């Protein structure tokens, strides 16, 4: 299972990268705005900085909602760095653009996916990644994990190569449950990755080992 971090915060990205388990980064316009990154030039520079920190895929989202605009923006983003994956919204023009990029060998992440039917369309259009938003479904009392399981079954039935990128992850249990279902990738905040480290018995056990070492060597 690949671990992506879902943020535009360079410190968090660097911390996850230093941990040695990071496979990539996802961003979106809201995450950029949260970091105060506004304006085309600043956003482009920020993507370059992210690519300098991580070794894996970096999703960069288009703002256009029409096919021509998405193609223009996506081509410019893909040309920025080999690690860039063009992130497209799941609307009709986004699917058309996904097929266009797929035919050209440019990698895509189809985002804002909330149903199995949408995920099937993204796979048919040759998406590299599909991003079902599990946390946002949970927020409205709908089982987000069930969507991940449905997509897994559909993709396995037909051998689609599109990777399931479980997005809108909120906590460590989402990560673990997605791993159990067989999601190819998860993207979440730094806390969802670091949370996996925690177990009180690890802390207690380590303290005891160190205490016993000191006793034996004093």
With respect to ligand E4P, which residue has the nearer C-beta, 131 or 183? 131
Residue 26 found at the interface with ligand E4P (CB under 6 A): yes
Under rule CB under 6 A, residue 86 binds ligand E4P? no
Which CB sits closer to ligand E4P, 108 or 187?
187
By CB under 6 A, tell whether 28 contacts ligand E4P.
Answer: yes
Per CB under 6 A, 3 contacts ligand E4P: no
Contact 46, 13 (CB under 8 A): no
Cα separations (Å) of 156 from 49, 110, 121, 123, 136?
Answer: 36, 18, 15, 11, 25
Contact between 135 and ligand E4P by CB under 6 A: the answer reads yes
d(CA 136, CA 114): 9
Which of the stretches 14-22, 120-128, 130-138, 156-164 binds ligand E4P when contact is defined by CB under 6 A?
Answer: 130-138
User: Can you tell me which of 17, 108, 168, 192 binds ligand E4P, judged by CB under 6 A?
Assistant: 168
SS3 track for 154-201: HHHHHCCCCEEEEECCCCHHHHHHHHHHCCCEEEECHHHHHHHHCCHH
User: Cβ atoms within 10 A of the Cβ of 44, count?
Assistant: 14
User: Minimum CB separation from ligand E4P for residue 28, in Å?
Assistant: 4
Q: Is 29 an interacting residue with respect to ligand E4P (CB under 6 A)?
A: no
Under the binding rule (CB under 6 A), the answer on residue 167 touching ligand E4P is yes
SS (H, E, C) 81-123: CCCEEEEEECCHHHHHHHHHHHHCCCCEEEEEECCHHHHHHHH
> Catalytic residue at 48?
no
Chain residues in the site for ligand E4P (CB under 6 A): 6, 26, 28, 111, 131, 133, 135-136, 167-168, 187
Annotated active-site positions, please? 87
């Amino acid at each position: 299972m690949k671990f992506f971090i879902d943020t535009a915060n360079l410190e968090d990205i660097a911390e996850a990268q230093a941990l040695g388990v990071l496979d990539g980064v996802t961003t979106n316009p809201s995450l950029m705005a949260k970091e105060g990154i506004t304006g085309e030039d600043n956003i482009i520079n920020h993507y370059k900085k992210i690519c300098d920190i991580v070794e894996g895929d970096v999703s960069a989202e288009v703002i256009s909602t029409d096919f021509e605009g998405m193609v223009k923006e996506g081509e410019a983003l893909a040309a920025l760095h080999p690690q860039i994956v063009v992130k497209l919204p799941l609307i009709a023009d986004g699917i058309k653009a996904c097929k266009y990029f797929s035919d050209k060998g440019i990698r895509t992440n189809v985002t804002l996916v909330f149903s199995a039917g949408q995920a099937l369309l993204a796979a048919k259009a040759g998406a590299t990644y599909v991003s079902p938003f599990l946390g946002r479904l949970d927020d409205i009392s709908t089982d987000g994990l069930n969507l991940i399981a449905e997509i897994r079954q559909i993709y396995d039935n037909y051998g689609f190569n599109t990777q399931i990128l479980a997005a809108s992850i909120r906590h460590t249990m989402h990560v673990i449950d997605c791993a159990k279902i067989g999601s190819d990738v998860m993207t979440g905040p730094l806390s969802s990755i670091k949370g996996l480290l925690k177990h009180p018995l690890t802390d207690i056990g380590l303290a005891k080992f160190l205490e016993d070492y000191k006793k034996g060597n004093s």
